[in-house]
Every structure is written in C-alpha cells, then in structure tokens.
Amino acid sequence: MSDDRSTHAGGSAPAIDGWFTVPEPNSGTGPQLIGSRCPDCGTYAFPPRDGACPNPHCDSDSLNRVPLSATGTLWSFAENHYAPPPPYPAADPFEPYALAAVELADEGMVILGKAAAGVRAADLAVGMHMELGLDVLYTDDDGVDRLVWVWAPSGSDAADGGNS
C-alpha cells in the first residue's frame, strides 16, 4: 500500500497499512476490515496475509484480499485499567478503555479490536450487535492522526459518530 497519509483531509492515516479501509469523509460508507480469502476453498483469515491457505484440506498457495463484514455479535470484551506497556501509545494521563471481540457471521470468525472511544465495559454484554468504526489511536511526530479499527454497539453514538 502506498503512503497516502497526506491525501487525507485533516492529516489522518491508518496506524497499520492494509488491514482496513478508510472511507473518504461524507462518502456515506463505513470502514471495513480487510481479510484474506482463499480463491479455492473460500475460507477467510485476518489479519490479511499472503501465501498458503490456512485450511489443511486445501493446497492453495494464494489468498485474495477481501473486505469483511462490518457488523457482528459481541463474543467477549475486556477493559484495561492500567496503561499497557509500549509499543501501545498510551495517553497521559491514562484513561481506562475497553476492547471487544466480535464474531462475524458470514466469515465465521471472531476479531479483536479496541472498543470505540467512550464505550466502556459497563455498556457491553456478550451477544450484543456491534459495528465497526475508526478512532484515532495516536498522533504521530508529523502531526498525522493514526487510525485504528474499533467496535461499538450498533446504533450507539460511538458507532454513528466515527472519528474518521
């Protein structure tokens, strides 16, 4: 993926390249995670990768990049009350934040991510309907907001507001 950080209004760019889409502002579309899908057997993988299909019954040595479902059900969640060590770019002062693992129905996989800003453990319960968003993970030395995917309860302010 080319370095396109300067093309985003407001100076934002993914914190990691190629793992999710960053829609243009006001495009009316939400972000999606990007996974790999086997062209032969159809199974999926995340994070996206090249090379061999993970299905032991399939000998494909190539995988395609595909967008993944942006909604799912909450498999489990946690909330960090201590700042994780580097390389986590913890804010100072540190504020507790939640993480969510969401099960995507079509892909049959659970994907972990931060919960959207403002979504706390007390707002969550296993089985809830969730949707994908983007938040600023940190601002880098060049002043570029580095984005990461986040999960929020569907229809919540955090899910609708978006930071991207």
Partner 1 sequence: MASNDDVAILGVGMHPWGKWGRDFTEYGMVAARAALADAGVAWTDVGHVAGAETIRNGYPGFVAGSTFAQKLGWTGVPVSSSYAACASGAMALQTARANILAGFCDVALVIGADTTPKGFFAPVGGERRDDPDWQRFHLMGATNPVYFALAARRRMDLWGATSADFAAVKVKNARHGLANPNARYRKEVALDDVLTSPIVSDPLRLLDICATSDGAAAIVVASADFARRHVGSLDGVVRVRGVSTATPTYPQTFLELPDFATDSTAVVTPPELGFKASVVHHAYDQAGVGPDDIDLAEVYDLSTAMELDWYEHLGLCEVGGAEELLRSGATTIGGRVPVNASGGLASFGEAIPAQALAQVCELTWQLRGQATGRQVDGARVGVTANQGLFGHGSSVVVGV
Minimum Å distance from CB 21 to partner 1?
A: 16
* Position 45 contacts partner 1 (CB under 8 A): yes
* Position 117 contacts partner 1 (CB under 8 A): no
Minimum Å distance from CB 114 to partner 1?
A: 5
* Position 155 contacts partner 1 (CB under 8 A): no
User: Between 109 and 159, whose beta carbon lies closer to partner 1?
Assistant: 109
* Position 66 contacts partner 1 (CB under 8 A): no
User: Between 22 and 110, whose beta carbon lies closer to partner 1?
Assistant: 110
* Position 140 contacts partner 1 (CB under 8 A): no
Q: Exposure string (b/e) for 117-143, b if CB count within 10 Å is 16 or more?
A: bebebebbeeebebbbbbbbbeeeeee
Residue from 11, 30, 32, 55 that binds partner 1 (CB under 8 A)?
55
Binding site for partner 1 (CB under 8 A): 15-16, 41-47, 54-57, 75-90, 96-99, 101, 106-114, 121, 125-127, 137, 148
